[in-house]
Structure 1
Amino acid sequence: MSVTAWCLTAGFAGLVLLGFPFAIAIALAVTAALLLADIEPAFLAQAVISGSQQFSLLAIPLFMLAGELMTAGGLSRRLVDLAGTLVRHRTGGLAMVAVLAALVFSAISGSAPATTAAIGAILIPAMVQAGYDRGFAASIAVSAGVLGPLIPPSIAFVIWGIVAEQSIGRLFLSGIVPGLALALGLLVICWVHARRNGVPRLPRASLAETWAAFHQGKWALASPVLVLGGIYGGVFTPTEAAAISCVYALLVGLFIERQLKPAALPAIFARAMKTSAIVCAIIAVSAGFGILVAQEQIATRFAQWMAENVEQRWLALASLNLAFFLLAAVMDEIAIMVILGPMLIAIANRFGVDPIHFGAIIVTNVAIGMAAPPIGYCLFIGMAISGLSLGRIARAIWPMILLMLVVLFLTTYIPGFALMLQPAGR
């Protein structure tokens, strides 16, 4: 490899290991590569501007803001109450409430951390009080939050759609079946845990309670119907859907539920902006990184090496999944998608993998990374809510991680599993 290529690969890796934030590490690696290649450093500024001016990127801060507004406006509590009336009387019912509430909230926020925070803050203390082990309560909330990247509208699919230049709507569809399969598996784990540990069942909700919960939760349930119905009905794009979701959450929180106070809006906007800035900064500076990687033909050479040394497609996909799992344990998942995107796409093309199917594989990996020790974002949220150490939650979450790996296996090796909802003739 050339000196520039070494700077982009080993140099970037070294900066990350030294503890530099990913966006800064990328920017420094690109700047050093430009100087070594005798290219005008202003190239980086131009790349950052072009990389941050994509219309689809607007969906990321907007969906994050929508999730914050829904939580502050009390809609997450409505979802929990509704799910409770349906399954709380079953074995493991309260843990199942976390899964079902997260399933619906994921269709509002599109974010794993937002889903974990919204559902975990309510249900981790309630599960502990009901007799569940605190480690299990935290791990099921973290695992349920992982539904956020899989159930549309998903921020992870938006990012991959931008990186891979694929239809975001079709990518959304590819995550539904894996997401539902993961949710079903988590429900089974809840039942098994409660049965083994003798967790008492809660009383069955009366018909009047159930009807009241549906009536009070109707505005929360209407949000994913409005957003997803508008996207797949061709009324608006995913980015426009994110804006509509924000307006809907704001109006419902202020004027219908009346739990969202105008005085709280600056703090809500600030939280959403802070999280969005981290994501968008990585994407923006990665534009220059991607251009230099293409210029040095790093992705093409690696894909060619893999094609020459790995003959079977199943083995190539297994290698990618293993590499992604190991990287996600120590590196930001969004950074992996953006930085390694060209290389991953080149390998998928080399082995003839359908681009939408490959997007489902990548985002399922991203979902696992959100919960995988030691740096999964959702793990830290679970730690903050439960007061447990990382090691305590990590020991409790491995059954859920194994379930996620089973879903990843099905997504990877049975294309129809992820593609069964794709429009006919596509």
Structure 2
Amino acid sequence: MIASLGILPLLLLALGTPVFLVFLTAVAVTMMFVMPLPPVALQQVLFGGFDNYALLAIPFFVFAGELMNSSGIATRLINWAMAMVGRVPGSLGVATVGASTAIGAISGSSVAAVAALGKTLYPKLVAAGYGKERAGGLLASSGAIDIVIPPSIAMILYGLAAEQSIPRLFMAGVLPGLLMAAMMAGFVIVVALRNRIPSGVRFNAKVAWATTKDAIWALLMPVFVLGGIYMGLFSPTEAGGFACVYAMIVALFVYRTMSLADVVRAAGNAAILSGQILIIVAAAGVITWMLTTQGVPQAITAWIQALELSALSFLLAVNVVLLVIGCFLDPTSAILVFAPLLVPIAISLGIDPVHFGIVMTVNLAIGMFTPPFGLNIFVAQSATGLPAHSLYRGVAPFVLVLLTALLIITYVPALSLTLGSRL
């Protein structure tokens, strides 16, 4: 079983096999040669993984994010962020972080933020004096905030895998996400001061008001969605449906930047992305089922308990392991496979599972732009035209910045738990 569920998946990943095929192949080989089971069991578990109402939130939020991104929302948010920042040192870099955070609150997708901002802001960042490597690194790394800021697809999946409240997870991600953004913005300001990168234009109330009015419908979307959830008006899944309708009305009748044909095209793109996510959900459910039936979670729990680790030591070990895993697996796959294994151990050590979910999500968010296989690096490479080795150097300082944020989030649970304590 070690060969089929341990060595084989690593070998397939090294060969570049799609993650869902890695999971399915490992389970199929195990069922054929290690623990003979009828093939119908694989089919039943595979499709049974979709039998969860909360999963409907994923295609809803993906479609809503696709509509908002396709309606030119990125440009409006960039203009708004620039107007708000004013003459802060490194204002364009700070605005990049702010715009990425705002896009994350709309789409919940790190990749969407990097793609939306890359082509628009990269030339401006280079012209402002940031340099190609630093500009590419900033764009690739700022997208990591989007996985933590609600509404977050990664947190929906964690809530399902760990059987935790999705509204509580959403609320728990607000302060950690803002901390990550603040620390990145602070680092950009320090870099700008050291390298004498010019500031933007002086803050102008009229310009700020004009850009706010232009972007207000986009800025209100997370307010309506999250406010509706926390006021009990609708569930996270229903909130996703509301977000779709809201985004469609804004795109068609408010901004008028999309036609019905564009909406259909956006629906097609959202269907493809949703399919990519959900096939991983199904495949990860299969391998989790196999590990559970073989008693792997129980064995790991007993082994860690035998080590008599403290909660702090366990969290440090989890951070190291997840940072490595995040370099090779996307957050969807990693959460669905490792959350069922790690959450029971965390609970046994007295760690709040919601706090643990934020720690896990932040780890995997950092993995999105960590070499060698961070997905944001490849998206930034496509948007900027930079070679991978240049982006590796560009993201390195931001990895250190967000590792510092991770330690704060890990060892200050109140940062994650304060806002959601009443839910």
Match of 1:279 in 2: 277
Asked whether the equivalents of residues 167 and 229 of structure 2 are also in contact (C-alpha less than 8 Å), the reply is yes
Q: 2:22 aligns with which of 25, 35, 40?
A: 25
- In 2, the alpha carbon distance for the partners of 1:310 and 1:395 equals 39
Matched residue SS, 2:129: coil
2:61 maps to 1:63: yes
Asked whether the equivalents of residues 137 and 393 of structure 2 are also in contact (C-alpha less than 8 Å), the reply is no
- In 2, the alpha carbon distance for the partners of 1:69 and 1:21 equals 27
- In 2, the alpha carbon distance for the partners of 1:336 and 1:214 equals 38
**Displacement of 1:176:** 1.1
Match of 1:382 in 2: 380
Counterpart of 1:317, as a letter, is L
Counterpart of 1:283, as a letter, is V
Match of 1:16 in 2: 13
Match of 2:130 in 1: 132
Asked whether the equivalents of residues 88 and 97 of structure 1 are also in contact (C-alpha less than 8 Å), the reply is no
Query: Is the deviation greater in 130-139 or in 262-271?
Result: 262-271
Per-residue CA deviations over 1:2-54 (Å, capped at 9, x if unaligned) read: x3x54222232222223221111111111122223121111111111110121
Query: Is the deviation greater in 89-98 or in 127-136?
Result: 127-136
Match of 2:70 in 1: 72
**Displacement of 1:110:** 0.9
Match of 2:405 in 1: 407
- In 2, the alpha carbon distance for the partners of 1:236 and 1:269 equals 23
Asked whether the equivalents of residues 156 and 366 of structure 1 are also in contact (C-alpha less than 8 Å), the reply is no
Q: 1:106 aligns with which of 95, 104, 107?
A: 104
Q: 1:84 aligns with which of 82, 85, 93?
A: 82
Match of 2:332 in 1: 334
Matched residue SS, 1:217: helix
Asked whether the equivalents of residues 145 and 365 of structure 2 are also in contact (C-alpha less than 8 Å), the reply is yes
Q: Structure 1 residues 292, 129: closer, same or farther in 2, change over 3 A? A: same
Query: Is the deviation greater in 53-62 or in 317-326?
Result: 53-62
Q: 1:315 aligns with which of 313, 316, 322?
A: 313
- In 1, the alpha carbon distance for the partners of 2:223 and 2:313 equals 40
- TM normalised by structure 2 equals 0.96
Query: Is the deviation greater in 305-314 or in 208-217?
Result: 305-314
- In 1, the alpha carbon distance for the partners of 2:108 and 2:191 equals 28
- In 1, the alpha carbon distance for the partners of 2:285 and 2:82 equals 45
**Displacement of 1:372:** 1.1
Counterpart of 2:28, as a letter, is T
**Displacement of 1:140:** 1.5
**Displacement of 1:205:** 4.5
- In 1, the alpha carbon distance for the partners of 2:30 and 2:359 equals 31
Matches within 5 A, 1:187-198: 187-198=185-196
Matches within 5 A, 1:293-304: 293-304=291-302
- In 2, the alpha carbon distance for the partners of 1:328 and 1:218 equals 35
Match of 2:415 in 1: 417
Matched residue SS, 2:99: helix
Asked whether the equivalents of residues 148 and 365 of structure 2 are also in contact (C-alpha less than 8 Å), the reply is yes
- In 2, the alpha carbon distance for the partners of 1:272 and 1:128 equals 32
Q: 2:91 aligns with which of 84, 90, 93?
A: 93
Q: Structure 1 residues 122, 310: closer, same or farther in 2, change over 3 A? A: farther
Percent sequence identity over matched residues?
34
Per-residue CA deviations over 1:78-109 (Å, capped at 9, x if unaligned) read: 11111111114221001111111122211111
Per-residue CA deviations over 1:327-361 (Å, capped at 9, x if unaligned) read: 11122232111122221123213322111111111
**Displacement of 1:165:** 0.7
Counterpart of 2:123, as a letter, is P
Counterpart of 2:15, as a letter, is L
Match of 2:243 in 1: 245
Per-residue CA deviations over 1:362-420 (Å, capped at 9, x if unaligned) read: 11111111121111111111111111111111112122111111121112122112112
Matched residue SS, 2:283: helix
Counterpart of 2:295, as a letter, is Q
Query: Is the deviation greater in 254-263 or in 10-19?
Result: 10-19
Query: Is the deviation greater in 153-162 or in 324-333?
Result: 324-333
Structure 1, unmatched stretches of 5+, are none
Matched residue SS, 1:371: coil
Asked whether the equivalents of residues 20 and 279 of structure 2 are also in contact (C-alpha less than 8 Å), the reply is yes
**Displacement of 1:180:** 0.7
Give 4+ residue runs of structure 1 displaced > 6 Å after superposition.
none
- In 2, the alpha carbon distance for the partners of 1:233 and 1:159 equals 22
- In 2, the alpha carbon distance for the partners of 1:407 and 1:130 equals 27
Match of 1:35 in 2: 32
2:373 maps to 1:364: no
- In 1, the alpha carbon distance for the partners of 2:284 and 2:142 equals 30
Asked whether the equivalents of residues 44 and 285 of structure 1 are also in contact (C-alpha less than 8 Å), the reply is no
Match of 2:4 in 1: 7
Structure 2, unmatched stretches of 5+, are none
**Displacement of 1:198:** 1.6
Asked whether the equivalents of residues 104 and 224 of structure 1 are also in contact (C-alpha less than 8 Å), the reply is no
Per-residue CA deviations over 1:51-87 (Å, capped at 9, x if unaligned) read: 0121111212221221211111122211111111111
Match of 1:162 in 2: 160
